[in-house]
């Protein structure tokens, strides 16, 4: 009788080592990656952001899809200022909140049979610098 219990325990464990059975599942946790978020009121042209607090920030370079990335970030950005132009426009690194849930590889949880016993906690959002990623 004890051997049956041992076999019932060892077989799934050995199959999980082969990658056929998995006991872990992804659990996305809502987090706030932006340290000091500021709302973007408007995007002027291709490289100028007007913020709710009255500041204006210029992008260092033209960023494809900048408007859609800011919109996906709930119009919130994080700014690390580097200086100010002679016309009073601030320059610096600009970060947006990027949703990883739709862009996360599911390979660690792609077993034939998944028995969800253990949660792998994963931050849902990441802080992404708004720049041209070449």
2: in domain: no
Cα–Cα distance, 107 to 28 (Å, whole number): 15
76: in domain: yes
Q: What percent of the chain has pLDDT over 70?
A: 83
Cα–Cα distance, 34 to 71 (Å, whole number): 15
How many C-beta atoms lie closer than 10 Å to residue 44's C-beta? 11
- Reduced to 3 states (helix: H, G, I; strand: E, B; else coil), residue 36 is coil
> Nearest Cα to 33, choosing from 103, 124, 131?
124
Per-residue pLDDT of 73-82, as tens digits, reads 999 999 988 8
Q: How many residues does the chain have?
A: 134
CATH code (residue 69): 2.40.50
CB 27 within 8 A of CB 120: yes
- Report how many domains make up the chain: 1
Per-residue pLDDT of 4-31, as tens digits, reads 766 666 666 665 556 678 888 888 899 9
């Amino acid at each position: 009788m004890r051997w049956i219990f041992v076999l019932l325990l060892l077989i799934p464990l050995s199959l999980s080592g082969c990658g056929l059975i998995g006991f872990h599942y992804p659990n996305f946790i809502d987090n706030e990656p932006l340290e000091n978020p500021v709302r973007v009121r408007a995007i002027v042209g291709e490289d100028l952001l007007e913020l709710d607090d009255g500041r204006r920030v210029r992008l260092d370079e033209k960023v494809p899809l900048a408007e859609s990335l800011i919109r996906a970030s709930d119009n919130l950005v994080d700014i690390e200022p580097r200086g100010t132009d002679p016309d009073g426009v601030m320059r610096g690194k600009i970060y947006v909140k990027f949703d990883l849930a739709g862009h996360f590889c599911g390979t660690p949880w792609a077993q034939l049979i998944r028995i969800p016993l253990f949660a792998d906690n994963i931050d849902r959002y990441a802080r992404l610098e708004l720049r041209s990623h070449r």
